Amino acid sequence: MKKIKSKYQFNNITALIFIVVTEGLFWSIALTAFYITVSNIKEFRFEHPYFLWTFLTLPFLITFWYLNRTWKNKALTNYSSLKLLPFIHNGFSNSKSILKFIFLRLGLGLIIIAFANPQYGENERVVDSKGIDIMIALDVSKSMQAEDLIKGYSRLEVAKKGISSLFQNLKGDHIGIVVFAGDAYKQLPITPDYKVANMFLSNIETQMISSQGTDIGNAIDKCVSSFKDERETNKAIIILSDGEDHEENALNAAKEANKKGIIINTIGMGTSKGVPIPIYRNGKKSGVKKDENDQTVLTKLNEQMLMEIAQAGNGSYTRASGMDIGLKTILNRINKIEKSTLETNRYTTYDDKFQIYLFIGIIFLILELSLTDKRTTFWNQFEPFKNEN
């Protein structure tokens, strides 16, 4: 009777001892291999080391496996008497059950290592960033509040959206921003960081400069001084304005800038038809701007002035139409300028080695799925662990 009982029940003590020993061997080999690798291969690392924390779930897996075997032992004896068991069941193979679990355990362990992605072989790559330095001169005078390009959007809002699209299409170029009205100042120094540039761009408003007017010449001078003389790069200025220059020194400033090799492109913001300038209080439109005679002040695009500035700066003029500020024309003009090496970046790369761990891990899982813990005539000939107490 004892022999029949042992045939139809798992020997949990033997299995648990074997699993603990196997687990100890696994970790001894794994930690030794890791120590030797780290000591001898300087360029070794795990790309995603946080996946290794998954190993903490393995004790729960062992506990579940042990409890499942205990449940099967009780369930089978409750299902039938020991005398009838030989007629309805072939019995359990203790060794096959242990082997199944070892396959599962090794498969999961190797897959965890694969997800952590061990990497060897540090390689240094040098990448040259090529481009030009570009300063954006943006008109923030009150006339840029006019809504003649598209209903519900001011000239300034259309200009900002166009500049943002320009940033998305630039590759490797360094950019800076100057805002101007009756005066001009640097909003953003030359930077390769387009995200930072967009952040500064979003904060630009017409209230930034109290001195009203449109001093394009001062804006050009501020852009020129923003370029770094020690950087031997090609340079360009893009001016977005309605062209209502009240200082009349823009042409001379453009010519002087071009003598230094700086190309100036202009974009006309507005229409040739005179439109009123809205006045806002607390974010709400409260009326339109009027002169001292209580007459509505009209603003219109001074296209001729912007054309002359572009010609003096050996650049091109584009007129905004709706939400289109002539982005394609600007990019084509910029791309014709010879790109210089702005900076040299060094990148460290590693060779992925997860493939071998993933491949072997999958093989172990396939073996686990293909193996059953039921006794078979063939397996009984090679049974390493008899179900005997």
Binned at pLDDT 50, 70 and 90, residue 388 comes out as very low
Binned at pLDDT 50, 70 and 90, residue 81 comes out as low
Judged against a pLDDT cut of 50, whether residue 167 lies above it is answered with: yes
Which range among 133-142, 208-217, 366-375, 377-386 has the greatest average pLDDT?
133-142
Whether the Cβ atoms of residue 58 and residue 109 lie closer than 8 Å to each other: yes
- For domain 128-342, give its CATH number from 3.40.50.410, 3.40.50.300, 3.40.630.40, 1.10.760.10: 3.40.50.410
Judged against a pLDDT cut of 60, whether residue 85 lies above it is answered with: no
Burial of 322 (0-12, 13-18, 19+ CB in 10 A): exposed
Judged against a pLDDT cut of 80, whether residue 104 lies above it is answered with: yes
State percent of the chain over pLDDT 70: 80
What is the rounded average pLDDT for all residues in the chain? 81
Residue 1 is predicted with a pLDDT of 44
pLDDT digits (tens, 9 = 90+) for 325-340: 887 788 888 777 767 6
For the residues 336-347, what does the mean pLDDT come to? 62
For the residues 148-169, what does the mean pLDDT come to? 90
From residue 43, give the alpha-carbon distance in Å to each of 40, 128, 345, 350: 9, 24, 20, 8
Say which residue, 374 or 249, is predicted with more confidence: 249
For the residues 238-251, what does the mean pLDDT come to? 82
Which range among 9-18, 24-33, 125-134, 307-316 has the greatest average pLDDT?
307-316
Q: Which of 12, 16, 19, 17 is nearest to 106 (CA)?
A: 19
Asked which of 225-229, 238-242, 258-262, 303-307 is least confident by mean pLDDT, the reply is 225-229
Asked which of 34-43, 241-250, 305-314, 344-353 is least confident by mean pLDDT, the reply is 344-353
For the residues 58-84, what does the mean pLDDT come to? 73
**Within its chain, how far is the Cα of 317 from the centroid?**
35
Whether the Cβ atoms of residue 323 and residue 150 lie closer than 8 Å to each other: yes
Binned at pLDDT 50, 70 and 90, residue 257 comes out as very high
Judged against a pLDDT cut of 90, whether residue 253 lies above it is answered with: yes
According to DSSP, the residues that pair with 353 across neighbouring strands are none
Residue 231 is predicted with a pLDDT of 67
What strand order describes the sheet that includes 262-268?
184-191, 174-180, 133-139, 235-241, 262-268, 317-319
Residues 268 and 242: their CA atoms lie apart, in Å, by: 5
Domain with CATH 3.40.50.410 in the chain: 128-342
For the residues 53-77, what does the mean pLDDT come to? 81
Pairing of strands 174-180, 184-191: antiparallel
